[in-house]
Structure 1
Amino acid sequence: MVITNNVHLPDCSELNVQEVDLSSPVLLAAGPYLGKDCENINNEFMLCRFESGDPRACLGLGKLVTTCTLQFFQKVKRACFHEFNQYANCVDKSSGDLSFKHCRKTQAVFEECMDEKLCMKRPEFGYFCRARVHKTSRPPPPANPCPCQPVVPDPTPSLPDCKPRQHPRFGSRFYWMTE
């Protein structure tokens, strides 16, 4: 990517944040609870990314998302470490494609622990697919937030009206299809 001198790039100190060093089975096992627990800050971050079109504008919110994720896993570790470990290990070891279908018993034990000790219920199926309006206190973005991405009109002209083609002389190549 080519940029000019007037574009501000963040320093390394602004970008450094403690990482969430977890494997895919662990993140898959905790996914519904993590999504529900950090839903508000995740939505705020995604709204910022969508509205601004510039990831530099949302660095602070990204750090808050990472902080929320770390705090969630610390809560799970304090309350339901053994149950969660069993469930994530089952997801990891029971199939080659990280399928949940072999782990319903350990999932039920983990869900019961989350409900009893953290008062968190698993979101119902389709919860994250529903359309929702996110209310934010941030001001709306300017019309063209990033000067490095100017608004360019579409240079492609519309296609001319096409005349229907005549049938091929020797028949169709798709002889198995009927007309």
Structure 2
Amino acid sequence: MVLTEDVTLPEFSDLETDEVKLSTGALLTASPFIGKLCEGVNNEFILCRQELNDPRACLEVGKQVTACAKEVLSRIRNECCKEFSQYANCVDKSSRDYTFRHCRKTQAIFDNCMRRRLCLLRNDFGYFCRGRIHKSSSDPPEPPPCPCHPKVDDATPSLPDCKPRKPARFGGRLYWSSD
């Protein structure tokens, strides 16, 4: 990314936030529940990034997404820590590409705990692929100004008139194509 002098970068104090310090397997294990419970905040963050096209304007919403994920993880740790740890350990160590197929039994135990203690169900397959309408609480941004083109007094000169061409010597170029 190329920066010029008129670009102001945020201070380091603005960027500081509590990070989610978990392994990839643990994040993959909790991701369906984080995605479901933090869906509104995450949609607001993605909408901010897309509309404003400037990540600096969305830092506060990004901090809200991280805080929501940390809250979901703390609820999981308080209620289903043992089941979560077993499932995350299985995902971490059962395959090199973090597939779930070897860990379906521990997944069922974890899902049962989440259903009993937190009343949360795992989303059905394809839930996050479906289109949904998000009602945003923020105002839409101002549309970008239209690019101004200098007004030219003289019109573009037209092409010179061409003489009629002779027919092709070996027939048209579409002669070999079949109809």
Bin of the TM-score, shorter chain as denominator length: 0.7 to 0.9
Counterpart in 1 of 2:4?
4
Counterpart in 2 of 1:127?
127
CA change 1:85–1:6 in 2 (3 A) is same
Q: In the aligned structure 1, how far is the partner of 2:50 from the partner of 2:127?
A: 21
Q: Secondary structure at the match of 1:51?
A: helix
Letter in 2 for 1:121: L
Counterpart in 2 of 1:20?
20
Counterpart in 2 of 1:72?
72
Letter in 2 for 1:98: Y
CA change 1:140–1:85 in 2 (3 A) is same
* 1:95-143 deviation line (CA, Å, top 9, x unaligned): 2221111111100000000011111100111100001111012111122
Q: In the aligned structure 2, how far is the partner of 1:5 from the partner of 1:144?
A: 22
Q: In the aligned structure 2, how far is the partner of 1:66 from the partner of 1:151?
A: 38
Counterpart in 2 of 1:50?
50
Alignment of 1:157-172 (within 5 A): none
- CA-atom RMSD in angstroms: 2.3
Counterpart in 1 of 2:138?
138
- After TM superposition, the runs of 4+ consecutive aligned structure 1 residues lying more than 2 A away are 1-8, 150-153
Counterpart in 2 of 1:103?
103
Q: How many residues of Structure 1 are paired with residues of Structure 2 in the alignment?
A: 154
Counterpart in 2 of 1:115?
115
Counterpart in 2 of 1:156?
none
Structure 2 residues not aligned, in runs of 5+: 150-171
CA change 1:26–1:164 in 2 (3 A) is farther
Letter in 2 for 1:138: S
Q: In the aligned structure 2, how far is the partner of 1:58 from the partner of 1:11?
A: 14
The reply on whether 1:85 has 2:51 as its aligned counterpart is no
CA change 1:121–1:151 in 2 (3 A) is farther
Q: Secondary structure at the match of 1:4?
A: coil
Q: In the aligned structure 2, how far is the partner of 1:47 from the partner of 1:53?
A: 10
Identity %: 52
Q: Secondary structure at the match of 2:110?
A: helix
Counterpart in 2 of 1:59?
59
Q: Secondary structure at the match of 2:102?
A: coil
Q: TM-score, normalising length from structure 1? A: 0.79
Letter in 2 for 1:122: R
Q: TM-score, normalising length from structure 2? A: 0.79
Query: C-alpha displacement at 1:7, in angstroms?
Result: 2.5
Q: In the aligned structure 2, how far is the partner of 1:152 from the partner of 1:73?
A: 51
CA change 1:152–1:38 in 2 (3 A) is farther
Q: In the aligned structure 2, how far is the partner of 1:9 from the partner of 1:95?
A: 41
